[in-house]
Amino acid sequence: MAIVDVTIAPRTEGAGGLSKYVAECHKILKASGLKHILTPMSTIIEGDLDQIFDIIRQMQEKQFEMGALRVYTTIRVDDRRDIHASMEQKLNSVNTKL
């Protein structure tokens, strides 16, 4: 199971917030059924890596459909296969040491 950190930043004309773009991405994520967490700076997604990449592609395309002229996407992947890793497991591992 992979844990992926993704930031999708559309470039649009004029100033303004990006919350409407983020909200549309999260509608796609919710419909996918993938486990995910919105953070102030990015979104963390947990699941099958192929499915995650497919959903990220859908989210990126949505930005263009909404009028973005350019989309900058950053993806970090933690794909650990020797043990079952989850978002909770990673957090618990640190918290038990605090």
Written as tens digits, the pLDDT of the chain (98 aa) is 899 999 999 987 766 778 999 999 999 999 999 999 999 999 999 999 999 999 999 999 999 999 999 999 999 999 988 888 888 988 998 999 99
* pLDDT given for residue 15 in this prediction: 61
2-11/35-38 β-pairing:
unpaired
pLDDT for 45 equals: 98
Calpha distance 14→28 (Å, rounded): 25
Q: How would you label 63-83 residue by residue, b for 16+ Cβ within 10 Å and e otherwise?
A: beeeebeebeeeeeeeeeeee
Helices (H), 1-98: 19-32, 49-65, 87-95
Architecture per CATH, 2-95: 2-Layer Sandwich (3.30)
- How is the chain split into domains, by residue range? 2-95
Q: Tell me, what's the pLDDT at 12? A: 78
- pLDDT score recorded for residue 8: 95
Question: What pLDDT score was predicted for residue 44?
Answer: 97
